[in-house]
Structure 1
Amino acid sequence: MYERILVSIDGSTPSNRAIDEAVKLVALSQGKIRLVSVVPSLANAYAAGAYSGFVPLESQESFEKETDEILANAKADLQKRGVDAETKMITLEAGTDEIADAVLREAQEWNADVIVLGTHGRRGINRLLLGSVAETLLRITTVPVLLVKAADQ
């Protein structure tokens, strides 16, 4: 049974659905949830923006503030549902790991039984340009992963 459930969130609809699935799992196991959110380095965000056509205007500090708010809001939502959760923000340094690497490392260090992750379900050119944390995580993971797809629009 999954007792240590790590949920990687980014404030998107798919990550909110991942939280919902984690709540179902924790209800079955009476386990623990850890919410993590990874802040990419500003340099990495600019590099990704060059390929996607989106260049972020925020500073590293604003990325971290937004991530802190995402974690706080998710934790508050869980508390309203009677579920206690730990939170952790992970900040990547320029030129270091990808988000998937950081999520996996956190899952291993925390001894997670499962990683729950929302996915946008992008295909084709959008997936090629924007990448897929979920796909990368699936390729490298040593921990079971539950992917939760965004609802069809």
Structure 2
Amino acid sequence: MTRILVPTDFSEGAHKALQLARELMPDAQIKLLHVFDPQVRSLPYQASLGVQANHEAIERHFQHEVLSQFEEAQRANIESEVVMGHPVDAIVKAAQEYGAHFIFMGTHARKGLNLLFLGSVAQGVMQRTPVPVMVVPSKN
């Protein structure tokens, strides 16, 4: 059975990546992965968790509230996991551990100085994994 890892930051691009994975490979096993980077507090729910957020609280929040945004995942019984760490490292490791055949991930399509200063998780993953990566832009 084909296994697809779909990292999510709950952006439009991540939603589109999940949809595309389901459309192109409807029989594949899919795992949603959210990487919580405790050094970055940019996602809406992170501020409410506070500085001392622990993995269990993040996991509960992911499962009960944030994952509800992914109606497709609930209907299709898609596996999900939350890990802590640097996104590129965690995604590459999760793909290896899951035995992923493909990674479908969204991108914010940053350019210029934004890309230089912020980096690109998708670009980092593509450079560090032997697994084929399908990058889905958040904008059409």
User: Structure 1-normalised TM-score?
Assistant: 0.74
Aligned to 1:110: 98
CA contact (8 A) 1:26 1:33 kept: no
Are 2:36 and 1:39 equivalent residues in the alignment? yes
Aligned to 1:99: 87
Residues in 2 aligned to 1:84 and 1:25: alpha-carbon distance in whole angstroms: 17
Number of corresponding residues: 131
> Where in structure 1 are there 5+ consecutive unaligned residues?
50-55, 93-97
Which protein is bigger by CA-based radius of gyration?
A: 1
Aligned to 1:84: 77
Residues in 1 aligned to 2:84 and 2:68: alpha-carbon distance in whole angstroms: 16
Give the alignment's Cα RMSD to 1 decimal: 2.4
Aligned to 1:122: 110
Residues in 1 aligned to 2:121 and 2:62: alpha-carbon distance in whole angstroms: 17
What is the 5 A alignment of 1:18-33? 18-27=17-26, 30-33=27-30
Residues in 2 aligned to 1:5 and 1:99: alpha-carbon distance in whole angstroms: 17
- Selected match of 1:71 from 67, 72, 75: 67
User: Structure 2-normalised TM-score?
Assistant: 0.81
Are 2:9 and 1:16 equivalent residues in the alignment? no
Paired-residue identity, %:
31
Residues in 1 aligned to 2:23 and 2:8: alpha-carbon distance in whole angstroms: 16
